[in-house]
Amino acid sequence: MSPRSRQSFHATITWLGHSAFQIETTKGKTILIDPWLDNPKAPVWAKDIAKADIVLVTHGHSDHVGNTINVVKRSGATVIAIFEIILYLQNNGVPSSQAQGMNKGGTINIHGLKVTMVDAKHSSGIDVGNNVIYGGEAAGFVIQIENGFTIYHAGDTSVFTDMKLIAQLYKPDLVLLPIGGCYTMGPSDGALACTFLKPKNIVGMHYGTFPRLSGTPAELKKCLPPPLKKRVRELQPGMPVRF
């Protein structure tokens, strides 16, 4: 590999289905977001992932907390989430040395990366059996990797005008937005979110897992103004893509 080709991408991103992503930086760090690793669309190998440096959890719902406890324990990763979810994880077997609580507006510098927690419009109860434990508020994350490339994972959310603030503050190069509808915004609202965020790359998530999450990247594209249409990348679960 020539030095030139080594510099021609910023990160390798693998969609693991639903809202789960694996991000590998060019400096060799691995980030997992919302690791529901055995979701219906996940590649079979995802549930055995053993390498991670950072695990981010956007909110308390089981389709986002997913396999967090096990993957944090076996990888030795640090899990970052809102304060209340961190308390829950610590009470359920995650060593406190591997758990880092934070809240919206805060930034954590870790492994040469900057992780900022931002707002999301959604609920965040931790569903355990027939009970719901208070999980704080739903959040999104802005991750600036070592080379400055900035990724915004919106978590579960509706569209909200403060996405303009996220654009102003962090200028995301890549946005990961829920587009399935029903529990989150769908394609047309997702398109509006893109006009607020003005990202260079757009990836849809939280669709296709179940029939009810019926939004698609094709619909998202249809709703976008022409300059943004070509910025949509449709990822296939388990297929790494360089950005």
Interaction residues for Mn ion, span 153-172 (CB under 5 A): 156
Torsion of CA 204, 208, 211, 212, to 10 degrees: -30
Applying CB under 5 A, among 10, 29, 41, 61 the residue interacting with Ni ion is 61
Size of the site for Ni ion (CB under 5 A): 2
Q: Which is nearer to Mn ion, 63 or 219 (CB)?
A: 63
Question: Encoding tokens for residue 99?
Answer: 């758990």
Q: Which stretch, 39-47, 60-68, 91-99, 127-135, contacts Mn ion (CB under 5 A)?
A: 60-68
Please, how many CA atoms are within 13 Å of residue 166, restricted to the half-sphere of its CB? Answer: 33
Please, how many CA atoms are within 13 Å of residue 125, restricted to the half-sphere of its CB? Answer: 7
> Would you count residue 34 as binding Ni ion (CB under 5 A)?
no
> Would you count residue 156 as binding Ni ion (CB under 5 A)?
yes
Q: Which of 142, 197, 143, 152 lies closest to 174, judged by CA?
A: 152
> Would you count residue 221 as binding Ni ion (CB under 5 A)?
no
Applying CB under 5 A, among 24, 34, 53, 63 the residue interacting with Mn ion is 63
Q: Which is nearer to Ni ion, 80 or 167 (CB)?
A: 80
Residue type, 15: W
Q: List 31's β-bridge partners, or say none.
A: 23, 54
Contact (CB, 8 A) for 184 and 158: yes
Q: Which stretch, 101-109, 128-136, 149-157, 205-213, contacts Ni ion (CB under 5 A)?
A: 149-157
Question: Encoding tokens for residue 110?
Answer: 């870790």
Which of Ni ion, Mn ion, none interacts with 137 (beta carbon under 5 to 8 A by kind)?
none
Contact (CB, 8 A) for 193 and 163: yes
Residues engaged in binding Mn ion (CB under 5 A): 63, 156
Residues engaged in binding Ni ion (CB under 5 A): 61, 156
